[in-house]
Structure 1
């Protein structure tokens, strides 16, 4: 029986080399992590701007705040999409899923923090 299994192993066709698309998917996983890191930096900058605007608003600060907020969300969503694209192949599956999950988690936390901040601003602005 063992000899039959060894004979079958010798008769199998050699593995074909991986396709170029698989190497691209592996790079997409790393790209997802880099996009997530960039989104995290933008989210940090945006949260600092929001805190600054909450407690000491300056004229002309709101448009810049909104632009950085939109850029942070767009970079986070791009990291999620690229991570999901990388997860479609076996080469990029681990890093792609990891990048997409981290980016999605940070987007949820960022959304909650921003929502709380703007709600706090609304509560401060409400008449007594």
Structure 2
């Protein structure tokens, strides 16, 4: 929950304080959205004084460096980032959706089997 209240300006530059809510990016599936939110908060606030910050893409730039294993405390950021223009793999997305639906059907069938009277076979998931 980074905001302008968590940044002190020191002789060497800005210093971020109050980090007890920091998350492990590798272990948190929401890490990028949290980074994007926090950087957006900072850009919106400081953008009042430097309007070009409102249009920067620091979060995406940092995340791309992080994913590539190149983000360090000495990384020089530009605030610029070109979104990849590769086409979405629709077939892969559909396979994931179908696998998720099949998993859910199996889960529901198991729940129905637990609730079924003894000796009675539950209906198959596609018959429900």
TM-score (normalizing by structure 2): 0.24
Higher relative contact order (CA 8 A, sep 6+): 1
Task: Select the structure that is richer in strand.
Answer: 2
Task: Select the structure that is richer in helix.
Answer: 1
